[in-house]
Structure 1
Amino acid sequence: MSNTRSSAKRIAAAAEADGDPKAPRTERGRRTLRKLLDAAAEEFGEKGFHEASVSSITRRAGVALGSFYTYFDSKDALFRALVADMSQMVRTSARSALREGMGALEIERTALAAFLRFAAEHKEIYRIIDEAEFVDPASYRAHYETIAARFAERLRAGTAAGELREGLGELEAWAMMGINVFVGLRYVVWGEGPVAAEELAAGVNRLLAEGIARR
């Protein structure tokens, strides 16, 4: 819950910094924004963008319909804010699981396990991000480019520490992100029963460490 609250604060702060007149400037306003974002995640996750409605979102949030327009100009604007919010929460879930002194591969294993646990609690993220490709392509691209940049940053750090080979960069970052996304799709969204996050992350980690060639 603390991650979701801080995420709402970051969105509000960024909007205020950009001069957005709708950015909430009080704690009460930020709580209302959080309610709207959480309700939107449920609504869009269940119905998809086109079938979702502002009135249904405000009912879920327990917010007056008129209050919605204090924060957003339209359903489209709310959707863009939600994609940014979920993207930030994905990054935060991974970053908050990391600890000082972890090795490069341990970082990747821990970050993936954290993402899988997050996705298990927020399965709607897959539908929402997928729909963003068509509803708001710029948000869709920004989501993946930002996450890939974090992968590339960690790879560079691992190389600098002498733990990973030279020459790792954007290609490997996008490939690793793709593995994580589709492992989550198969075992979290399509899976049945509890998610074995640590076991799955360890399996992917072995793939990173050993590759697939016969030794």
Structure 2
Amino acid sequence: MSDASRTQSASTRPGGDTTAVPAPKTERGRRTLRGLLDAAAQEFGARGFHATGITDITRRAGVALGSFYTYFASKEEVFRALVTDMSAQVKSHVTPHVLAAPDALAREHAALESYLDFVTRHQLIYRIIDEAEFVAPDAYSEHYKTTVARIAARLQAGAEQGEMRPDVGEVEAWAIAGMNVFLGLRYGVWGNGEDMADIAAQANKLVTDGLRAR
């Protein structure tokens, strides 16, 4: 099966919904796909979904229009793939910092600080994810559900290790996710060069005081 047919068949679920686009087998294919997703992020982030055309994306990516259709069937499909891709980028950026943290409370501090760092470097994520609520609501909800699932898993591990309250669960995970999202908006997007480590430390006091095992 070619890169093109593999990508299209693997990225489409019944009903037309899309998941992450698997990496092509060739280095050239991987570069092209990465370029299209990066270009889509810039165009959708700057113009919005409805004002962006496929040709805007291919022009920015420096590829032929036909190359776009090798990987995506429509503008809607590349948008969905972009939401999934940006969610994966956040995970990839945050995970090493979380794994390096010495305990459960430190993991939440590391997760927030590294998330704020990511948002500062990729501010367009907020416009793209917010617009996904209306353009691709399934991808929008999946982004937050998978994010919260990761937080919930961390909290459960902390409880099992005796470092957090034994009753922590989904509510606390959603609360932490909401805090992180709005701190990212305030200091990552609307910020004025604040010290992200200090912001994360202040916010983490809420987590520490609320979740620490007594």
Relative to the length of structure 1, the TM-score reads 0.86
**Deviation per CA, 1:115-169, whole angstroms, max 9, x where unpaired?**
1111011000000000000001000000000000001000000001111011110
Question: How much does 1:190 deviate?
Answer: 1.4
The 2-side partners of 1:58 and 1:87 are apart by 22
Tell me which amino acid in the other structure corresponds to 1:64.
Answer: A
Are the structure 2 counterparts of residues 96 and 195 from structure 1 closer, same or farther at C-alpha, using a change threshold of 3 Å?
Answer: farther
Are the structure 2 counterparts of residues 142 and 202 from structure 1 closer, same or farther at C-alpha, using a change threshold of 3 Å?
Answer: same
- Give the 3-state SS of the residue equivalent to 1:98 in structure 2: helix
Question: How much does 1:98 deviate?
Answer: 2.6
C-alpha contact 2:41 2:124 (8 A) present in aligned 1: yes
The 1-side partners of 2:101 and 2:177 are apart by 23
Question: Which piece of structure 1 moves more, 24-33 or 172-181?
Answer: 24-33
The 1-side partners of 2:198 and 2:11 are apart by 45
Are the structure 2 counterparts of residues 78 and 190 from structure 1 closer, same or farther at C-alpha, using a change threshold of 3 Å?
Answer: same
Tell me which amino acid in the other structure corresponds to 1:203.
Answer: Q
> What is the identity percentage for the equivalent residue pairs of Structure 1 and Structure 2?
54
Per the alignment, residue 15 of structure 2 pairs with: none
Question: How much does 1:196 deviate?
Answer: 1.8
**Deviation per CA, 1:50-77, whole angstroms, max 9, x where unpaired?**
0011111111111112211111111000
C-alpha contact 1:117 1:195 (8 A) present in aligned 2: no
The 2-side partners of 1:118 and 1:75 are apart by 26
Question: How much does 1:18 deviate?
Answer: 3.1
Tell me which amino acid in the other structure corresponds to 1:196.
Answer: D
For 1:84-123, what aligned pairs fall within 5 Å after superposition?
A: 84-100=84-100, 102-123=102-123
1:128 matches 2:120: no
Are the structure 2 counterparts of residues 101 and 71 from structure 1 closer, same or farther at C-alpha, using a change threshold of 3 Å?
Answer: closer
Per the alignment, residue 36 of structure 2 pairs with: 36
Are the structure 2 counterparts of residues 16 and 64 from structure 1 closer, same or farther at C-alpha, using a change threshold of 3 Å?
Answer: closer
The 2-side partners of 1:64 and 1:145 are apart by 35
Question: How much does 1:26 deviate?
Answer: 1.2
Question: How much does 1:92 deviate?
Answer: 1.2
C-alpha contact 2:45 2:128 (8 A) present in aligned 1: yes
Structure 1 portions without partners, runs of 5+ = 1-11
The 2-side partners of 1:107 and 1:54 are apart by 40
Question: How much does 1:187 deviate?
Answer: 1.1
Per the alignment, residue 197 of structure 1 pairs with: 196
Relative to the length of structure 2, the TM-score reads 0.86
Tell me which amino acid in the other structure corresponds to 1:207.
Answer: L
C-alpha contact 1:39 1:58 (8 A) present in aligned 2: yes
The 1-side partners of 2:200 and 2:123 are apart by 18
Give runs of ≥4 in structure 1 deviating > 2 Å. 14-20, 22-25, 98-101
The 1-side partners of 2:204 and 2:69 are apart by 46
Per the alignment, residue 156 of structure 1 pairs with: 156
Per the alignment, residue 6 of structure 1 pairs with: none
Per the alignment, residue 16 of structure 2 pairs with: none
- Give the 3-state SS of the residue equivalent to 1:166 in structure 2: coil
The 2-side partners of 1:106 and 1:48 are apart by 37
Q: How well do the aligned residues superpose, as a CA RMSD in angstroms?
A: 2.0
C-alpha contact 2:7 2:71 (8 A) present in aligned 1: no
1:208 matches 2:186: no
The 1-side partners of 2:27 and 2:123 are apart by 28
Question: How much does 1:19 deviate?
Answer: 7.4
Question: How much does 1:102 deviate?
Answer: 1.4
Question: How much does 1:37 deviate?
Answer: 0.3
The 2-side partners of 1:19 and 1:80 are apart by 10
